[in-house]
Amino acid sequence: MGKKLHMQRRGKGSNAYTKLPNHAKADVVFRGVPDKGKEIAEVIELVHDPGRTPPLMLLKYDNKEEMMIAPEGIKIGDKVQVGADASLGIGSITSIGRIPESMPIYNIEVTPGDGGKLVRAAGSFATVISHSSNTSMIRLPSKQIIEVKNVCLAQIGVTAGGGATMQPILKAGKHHYMMHAKNIRWPGNRGVKSNPVDHPFGGKQHHKGASSMTSRNAPPGAKVGHIAARRVGRKKR
């Protein structure tokens, strides 16, 4: 008798697939950024977060404290400005419409008020290309160019921790717990390496043996491969 597929076991919610409690130190989003003027916060601590690749910085305002993603080069005691009139120093939070072209930014909002969605991995940054009356063009680390509204917020600088991926892991167990903190099961075996009772692609001499296009309404035991894909395969010239 075969085992359940990976997606079936993940849906059941066993210990190998459940998210660790409190795996992230804080919910890093923009809160209460003033539309006029600016606020000044002091970096009082740099925090390692096992659920993220970059470190966090603890900012102390006059009446509150909050965590934000730390930029490269920040240190304890530095001042970070937040708001519409904030200076353009590293770590500052302001609207994209005020940021000059070719300046690196990270933790970018896609829509105003979403708290920051893009470019949050260690060592990554995007670049402001151009501005128009209401929108700005931004080049992401993947070289893709997107258009966002000028009122969307972003942090200035390069995300800290860029050399973290260069450190050798040395042991498979360490890699397992690193991935578990990020709610990722590791290692993951390929379906074509499985037995036919364990996976729809298994038992066929290490190749799928059938189309990998799957209906969006397929049951969990068959919902593998390219789900509801528009097309698969190489494009014909």
Residue-range domain boundaries for the chain: 39-159
Query: pLDDT (tens digit, 9 = 90+) per residue, 48-89?
Result: 988 888 999 999 998 889 999 999 999 999 999 999 888 888
27 vs 137, residue with greater confidence: 137
Q: Which helix (H) or strand (E) holds 173?
A: helix 172-181
- Reduce the secondary structure of 150-214 to three states and give it as a string: CCCEEEECCECCCCHHHCCCCCHHHHHHHHHHCCCCCCCCCHHHCCCCCCCCCCCCCCCCCCCEE
Query: pLDDT (tens digit, 9 = 90+) per residue, 116-133?
Result: 999 999 999 999 999 998
pTM, to two decimals = 0.78
Q: What confidence score (pLDDT) does residue 42 get?
A: 93
Of the candidates 66, 56, 20, the one whose C-alpha atom is nearest the C-alpha of residue 159 is 56
The CATH code of domain 39-159 reads 2.30.30.30
Asked whether 50 and 181 are in contact (CB, 8 A), the reply is yes
- Please give the Cα distance from 153 to 108 (Å, whole number): 6
Q: Which helix (H) or strand (E) holds 8?
A: helix 6-12
Q: What angle do CA 119, 19, 221 make, to 5 degrees?
A: 100
- Count of other CB atoms within 10 angstroms of residue 211: 10
- Please give the Cα distance from 3 to 13 (Å, whole number): 15
Mean predicted lDDT score pLDDT of the chain: 87
Q: What confidence score (pLDDT) does residue 63 get?
A: 86
Rg (CA), the chain: 22
Q: What confidence score (pLDDT) does residue 22 get?
A: 67
Instruction: Write phi, then psi, for 41 (nearest 5 degrees).
Output: -125, 150
- Please give the Cα distance from 83 to 106 (Å, whole number): 16
